[in-house]
Chains A and B, each alone.
Chain A
Amino acid sequence: NAGVMQNPRHLVRRRGQEARLRCSPMKGHSHVYWYRQLPEEGLKFMVYLQKENIIDESGMPKERFSAEFPKEGPSILRIQQVVRGDSAAYFCASSPAGNEQFFGPGTRLTVL
């Protein structure tokens, strides 16, 4: 059973560009969570989604950030007009029913 998959693993963007981060949950998992990790910091909750629904986006900045988890395909975390402060590792986790979360390897975003 493949684990949570994220791609790309590393992403470099210039200020003002868009970043798209993808997360494929484990098979059978319909709950997806996104976290952001700044250097030498713990993970910070951003958003929780179930298929086609955003359940809780209280940790996500109101502007420039959006997330979706369509009926078909991976969950997408989208960051528009990136700034240097967006540089971080973004982790996705999935769970079968809102319980134990399994984390992916992360996407490391660098904004130049």
Chain B
Amino acid sequence: GESVGLHLPTLSVQEGDNSIINCAYSNSASDYFIWYKQESGKGPQFIIDIRSNMDKRQGQRVTVLLNKTVKHLSLQIAATQPGDSAVYFCAEKERGGSNYKLTFGKGTLLTVNP
């Protein structure tokens, strides 16, 4: 079936660098996407979301980009800090479907080296 997945399972960056985490999705019916951060031993924490009528959305130090043509989603973290070390998941909701049912990708482990 259609699913949300990630290109890179791990990403290691130096403190202060920018990080880019990618996510590919195959369900063209998805119209809402969310990035979550999950630290070790904790539950997922909402970072930022974007609807399909947008290409870009910015938050504090984070930017999400959506390319519907190639069904690609990315999360950019500026000036990455050690506290950003975590697993990052993208999740989607399907247009016209249940607005509560999230489909998660497998996650990317981000490691920030001091």
Interface hits, A69-104 → B, CB 8 Å: 91, 93, 95, 98-104
A-B contact pairs, 30 of them (CB 8 A): A33-B100, A41-B106, A41-B107, A42-B4, A42-B89, A42-B91, A42-B104, A42-B105, A42-B106, A42-B107, A43-B89, A43-B91, A43-B104, A44-B104, A48-B98, A48-B101, A56-B100, A56-B101, A58-B101, A93-B43, A95-B100, A99-B99, A100-B46, A101-B46, A101-B100, A101-B102, A103-B36, A105-B41, A105-B42, A105-B43
The distance from the CB of A54 to the nearest CB of chain B, in whole angstroms, is: 13
> Is the pair A103, B43 in contact by a Cβ cutoff of 8 Å?
yes
B residues at A contact (CB < 8 Å): 4, 36, 41-46, 89, 91, 98-107
Q: Is A40 part of the contact surface with B, judged by Cβ < 8 Å?
A: yes
C-alpha gap A14/B91 in the complex (Å)? 33
A93 to B91, CA, bound (A): 14
Q: Are B43's CB and A56's CB within 8 A?
A: no
* Pairwise interchain contact B100-A106, C-beta atoms closer than 8 A: no
Q: How far is the CB of B105 from chain A (nearest CB, A)?
A: 5
Contact A40 B106 (CB under 8 A): yes
The B interface, classified by DSSP as helix, strand, loop or mixed, is loop
Q: How far is the CB of A67 from chain B (nearest CB, A)?
A: 14
Inter-chain CA distance A101–B89, complex, in Å, is: 14
Bound Cα distance A48, B42 (Å): 21
Total residues of chain A contacting the partner, CB 8 A: 27
Q: Which A residues lie within 8 Å of B46 (CB)?
A: 100-102
Pairwise interchain contact B100-A98, C-beta atoms closer than 8 A: yes
> Are B43's CB and A106's CB within 8 A?
yes
- With A42-B89, A101-B100: A91-B44 Cβ-Cβ less than 8 Å: yes
- Residues of chain B within 8 A of A95, CB atoms compared: 100
A107 to chain B, nearest CB (A): 10
A43 touches B44 (CB 8 A): yes
Q: Given the complex, which residues of B lie within 8 Å of A93, measured CB to CB?
A: 43
A31 lies within 8 A of chain B by Cβ: yes
CA distance A41 to B106 in the complex (A): 5
